[in-house]
């Protein structure tokens, strides 16, 4: 059996509470699909499911909506409401309409090896900030940072897990022969790259 919950427009912890109530009525093998309209709500649902040891898949279905699918298993019976309610509201630490533009896999001019080291350090330092950008745009040789085997891939994945949108130029990936190697975020185009910067209140170019 599959139950669908439309939790768009509902503040935390309402999506989690409604989902939990539905889960309590289902049986092993049943599926609950929850639609939410922001990344933090999807993360809250993921955290709840993980605490209950339930299989979960969360995916972005368009610019504003996420689909979270939770499968019921017997392990959920071992979890109490008190355990689940402890951490259902994550804080959104993103700076709204703040965009970081990275157009190279090196930081600064001069020694190339040093430039690579500095860029790796910069992206790592981003993961340690109390406030995060809303979007990171990668183009030209900056696309090397978001592909498989990149030294910065794990840090970019960590940023993405905290709601940062990682967008990599598709034309650039194709130019460098990296189209099949994208390891984080999604492919974008010049229209979106321009739009993101024009609509931002702050653009930081590295």
CATH, residue 59: 3.30.110.40
Peptide bond between residue 13 and the one before it cis (omega within 30 degrees of 0): yes
pLDDT band at residue 81 under the 50/70/90 scheme? very low
Q: Residues 80, 164: one domain?
A: no
Q: Residues 24, 121: one domain?
A: no
User: pTM to 2 decimals?
Assistant: 0.63
Confidence check: pLDDT of 61 > 50: yes
Please, which residues have CB within 8 angstroms of residue 95's CB and are 6 or more apart in sequence?
A: 131, 132, 133, 134, 202
Q: Residues 19, 75: one domain?
A: yes
Model pLDDT for residues 172-205, shown as the tens digit of each residue? 999 999 999 999 999 999 999 999 999 999 999 9
Number of separate domains in the chain: 2
Q: Residues 197, 123: one domain?
A: yes
Model pLDDT for residues 105-139, shown as the tens digit of each residue? 999 999 999 999 999 999 999 988 888 999 999 99
How far, in Å, CA of 132 to CA of 92, rounded?
Answer: 9
Q: Residues 74, 145: one domain?
A: no
Burial of 133 (0-12, 13-18, 19+ CB in 10 A): buried
Expressed as residue numbers, the domain containing 123 is 94-205
Domain end (from 68, 85, 102): 85
Question: 53 phi and psi, to 5 degrees?
Answer: 60, 40
Q: Residues 71, 102: one domain?
A: no
Residues 13, 41 contacting (CB under 8 angstroms): no
Residues 46, 75 contacting (CB under 8 angstroms): no
Q: Residues 81, 98: one domain?
A: no
CATH code of residue 149: 3.40.1260.10
Q: List, in sequence order, every beta strand (DSSP E) within the chain.
A: 2-6, 31-36, 56-60, 66-71, 94-102, 132-138, 165-169, 186-188, 202-205
């Amino acid at each position: 059996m599959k139950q669908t919950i439309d939790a768009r427009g509902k503040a935390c912890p309402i999506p989690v509470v409604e989902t939990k109530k539905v889960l309590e009525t289902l049986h092993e093998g049943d599926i609950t699909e929850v639609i939410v309209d922001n990344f933090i709500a999807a993360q809250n649902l993921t955290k709840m499911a993980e605490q209950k040891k339930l299989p979960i898949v969360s995916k972005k279905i368009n610019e504003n909506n996420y689909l979270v699918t939770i499968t019921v298993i017997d392990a959920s019976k071992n979890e109490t409401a008190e355990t689940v309610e402890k951490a259902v509201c994550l804080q959104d630490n993103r700076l709204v309409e703040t965009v970081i533009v990275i157009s190279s896999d090196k930081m600064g001019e001069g020694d190339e090896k040093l430039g690579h080291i500095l860029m790796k350090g910069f992206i790592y330092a981003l993961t340690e900030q109390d406030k995060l950008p809303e979007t990171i745009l990668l183009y030209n040789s900056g696309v090397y940072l978001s592909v498989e085997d990149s030294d910065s891939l794990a840090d970019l994945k960590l940023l993405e897990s905290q709601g940062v949108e990682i967008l990599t130029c598709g034309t650039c990936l194709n130019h460098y022969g990296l189209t099949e190697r994208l390891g984080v975020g999604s492919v974008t185009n010049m229209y979106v790259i321009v739009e993101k910067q024009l609509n931002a209140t702050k653009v930081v170019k590295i």
